[in-house]
Amino acid sequence: METIQSFFFLALELTLLFLAISFFIQFIEGYIPYDRMQQLLAERHPLIGAIIAVMFAFVTPFCSCSTIPVVVSLLNKNVRFGLVMIFLFASPVLDPTILTIMTALLGIKVAAVYTLLTAILSILIGFMLEVFGFERAVKRVIMKGNVDIGKKRTLKEAWHETLHLMKTVYPYLLLGAGIGAFIHGVVPTEWISTYMGGDTWWLVPLAAIIGIPLYIRLSTMIPISQMLLAKGMALGPMMALMISSAGASLPEITLLHSIFHKKLVWAFIASVISMATLSGFLFYII
């Protein structure tokens, strides 16, 4: 009974948060000057461009399938390679809807540290890939069709877009709520605190590696992480798992093979694991 009640209230909270924030994002997206942002990426000082790339990632709440065409578009417009990589790393992990849910469930401190760490590490890794010459591993790809961003929507259209997005994401939200409720009601606290708590350092890189093939969406992981943390799991490996599973899913890696040579694809995977691992260790310190 406790598990069912926990699932109901957690699913209701996630649903209301997702609908409200997604509707707001869908409506204001048409007023974001995407063309101007792309120009600024190409023209400004690298550091300013990096900040713009992170902002661009934040205001484009795309799944990995939608991110890849934007990456191709930026590369075809000769935007600096390092800035494009910053966008690629930051876009899936800096979703404003997910960050809002993270704030509500895990607290504003966790969400703020998560946002700051992922933004800084995305910038550092993006420029490092540029310094090491990985730009030569980009294939020449011409994007077919247009990416539907920057389109102004009425309130009715924004609501329809929100419902369309909800159909895609909602099963993962319910899955996360279900697993979280199961952990809350069934899994013993002593087991989690004994085997997954404390300062066991190797749990962090292990979680970062496991996260990629699992293909767990961030929207699924947040309610699960809330229950695991309440049961005693250490924050470091939990954050490493969240970042790696959001930053490099198997479908995204498959799509990247179409625009990157294998050398850069492997560098991308290694970078996501490194970002997740380092973030996990930093959460121990903070």
Q: Where are the domains of the chain?
A: 2-285
* For residues 87-100, average pLDDT: 82
pLDDT confidence of residue 145: 46
Whether 259 contacts 138, CB under 8 Å: yes
Flag whether pLDDT at 271 surpasses 90.
Answer: yes
Q: What is the C-alpha radius of gyration for the chain, rounded to an integer number of angstroms?
A: 19
pLDDT confidence of residue 148: 53
Q: How many CB atoms lie within 10 A of CB 235?
A: 18
Confidence of residue 153 (pLDDT cuts 50, 70, 90): confident
Mean pLDDT of the chain: 76
Flag whether pLDDT at 31 surpasses 70.
Answer: no
**Nearest CA to 277 among 242, 226, 233, 225?**
242
Whether 84 contacts 71, CB under 8 Å: yes
pLDDT confidence of residue 146: 46
CA distance 208 to 271: 11
* Phi, psi of 200, rounded to the nearest 5 degrees: -65, 105
* For residues 271-277, average pLDDT: 92
Q: Report if pTM > 0.75.
A: no
Q: Choose the weakest-confidence range: 120-129, 177-186, 225-234.
A: 177-186
When comparing pLDDT for 211 and 194, which is higher? 211
